[in-house]
Amino acid sequence: MAMELAGTGLKIVALERGEQRDTYPDFAYPRIIDELTYGIRLKLFQNASKETVTVRHSGNESALPYRRFGSFLPGDGVGGAGVHWNGMLWRPLEADLKMRSTVIERYGADFIPQDMTVQDYPFTSAEMEPFFDKFEKICGTAGHAGNLNGEKIAGGNPFEAPRQNHYPTKPLKQQYSGMLFEKAAKELGYHPFPLPAALCSEPYTNPYGVQLGVCNYCGFCERFGCFNYAKASPQSCVLPALYQYKNFELRTQSQVLRVNTDSTGAQATGVTYIDANGQEVEQPASLVVLSAFQLHNVRLLLLSNIGKPYDPATGEGVVGRNYAYQMNGGVSLFFDPDTNFNPFAATGATGTFIDDFNAENFDHSGLGFVGGATISATITGGRPVQQMSISNKAPKWGTGWKKAIKESYLHTMSIGSSGSVMPYKQCYLDLDPTYKDHHGQPLLRMTFDWQRNELKMTNFIAGKAEGIAKAIGPKHYEMGFKGMNAHYDVRPYQSTHTTGGAVMGDNPKTSVVNKYLQSWDVPNVFVLGACCFPQNLSYNPTGIVGGTTLFAAHAILTQYLANPGPLVQA
């Protein structure tokens, strides 16, 4: 957003609560490939001792502070979660954007459970296409088009919405696991394609004039910064150009406490933040953009009294509504010693996928659930601490554990699923009445658990993934999908794809921001990110976050600056 607006000459101040970070020296090799520091001790992530969330499964439970992040990992410092991500860069399917109306059209309104608050996005795929295209070009995205202006392209995703252009760079090299998956998927009548990756596969200069490096398959993507300037982090593809603007200022160690408004509450006057010296500072502003992580944007809105907080008892209010996470599962495949996968030669987004059971790409009649999942073979690395895949039957320590690692390290692959999660009346975010952060402000409280719709979905997907595993033919395999009685567990990492709480829409009664991500209540406040998603797609959120940000920036440049005020009438 700052880069898009910098050319106007506006004075732009970016407030980052964490430390300054850049590719050099912070991500320099070999410093950055320290798995203990970055993978286990979570150096790039939020400090849970200072600020965290409280968690509970239902509204009749007491929420407790989440003291060691595991399930999801909010970033901290310049670049945020854009530093440590894997680089999977998706566009939404057309049905993803019109999920509610599509389901009603195909199966009737009664197909949607009464407690499910699924809703459509306030724009179409065609309307967003130029902005998805631009974001892919900023990132130097590697991939293979499947639908070019309505023409299906062999080898790409046949289910994707029409695109104007090919991906900026060619697909990443395929791993052996992906080759086996592709062969088995085709034999079963599915449509495999390479994962779109924000990991540059060839020399490339993006629209901001920044030259990106070429990925060298080092196996250190998630939880790590990219030392090769190849992964599309802010440091590699935006900040070098943004720093050239004299009207842009970045202040680090500056944590925003709240957005300030005038006496009417309908106009923002700036923000209050704590600076590096611990002093409270008021920063005036005529335009305020919230671009923190999903959870933090929702908390800032609640702390600032912008928008009516959601009340699950009455269903009224909007801020905190429609929180959702992501439903994952997998199959571990074990092979004989003569089958080698070399997992260390990997990227965070080297994979082969199928979309045959995603969203509305298949008939849900009689299945009893809304949504779906991708199924893929993706190896993101072979790191020595967290990426030792051994059998569930193997010892957990000692000589037997070491023997199991030796027998499985080179000879194991996995099939994973990434599933959508719908929103529900009983899954929401609000301010905790008991616990506070180190500045004395209420923590954000998360009320969330798996619902039957998603558990039915993942059990259906488990059968499809197992079918592919059998077709591949390993020595043996082990299933890792949730059963119908599963509850959300905050301990194991699952994904950092938390969504909702400040959703976009056409109706102020069911959304916090309009299609341009502009607050309905305070029109000089814009809210970016996955907090604006009405529900969680099976895809990783970054592509939509980037595309909708560019869409909002375009609206500010072409409409708002000339005539400040609501861009959409309620």
How does pLDDT run across 186-206, given as a tens digit for each residue? 999 999 999 999 999 999 999
pLDDT confidence of residue 46? 93
Q: Mean pLDDT in the chain? A: 96
Is residue 568 one of the residues assigned to a domain?
A: no
Q: Tell me which residue of 312, 294, 325 sits closest to 448, measured CA to CA.
A: 325
- For residue 161, pLDDT over 90 is answered with yes
3-state secondary structure of 81: helix
Q: What percent of the chain has pLDDT over 70?
A: 100
- pLDDT tens digit sequence for 441-461: 999 999 999 999 999 999 999
Task: Please count the structural domains in the chain.
Answer: 1
For residue 371, pLDDT over 90 is answered with: yes
* Range 548-568 average pLDDT: 97
Assess if residue 384 is contained within a domain.
yes
Phi and psi of 238, rounded to 5°?
-130, -55
Average confidence (pLDDT) over 4-20: 97
- Does 569 reside within a domain? no
In a domain, 276, yes or no: yes
Asked whether residue 570 is domain-assigned, the answer is no
pLDDT classification of 570: cutoffs 50, 70, 90: confident
**CATH code for position 538:** 3.50.50.60
At residue 567, the pLDDT reads 97
Q: Which residues are catalytic?
A: 497
**Closest C-alpha among 555, 530, 387 to residue 90:** 530
pLDDT tens per residue across span 52-101:
999 999 999 999 999 999 999 999 999 999 999 999 999 999 999 999 99
Integer Cα distance of 130 and 141 in angstroms: 15
With contact defined as beta carbons under 8 Å apart, do 496 and 223 qualify? no
User: What's the pLDDT score for residue 25?
Assistant: 95
Is 455 domain-assigned? yes
Q: Which two tokens stand for residue 216?
A: 């060298």
Instruction: Tell me the CB-side half-sphere exposure of residue 352, using CA atoms within 13 A.
Output: 24
pLDDT at 408: 94
pLDDT at residue 389 in the model:
87
Range of the domain at 497: 1-562
Residue 128 — pLDDT band, cuts 50, 70, 90?
very high
pTM (predicted TM-score): 0.97
- Whether omega before 25 lies within 30 degrees of 0, making that bond cis, reads yes
Residue 335 belongs to some domain of the structure:
yes
Cα–Cα–Cα angle for 145, 148, 149, nearest 5°? 160
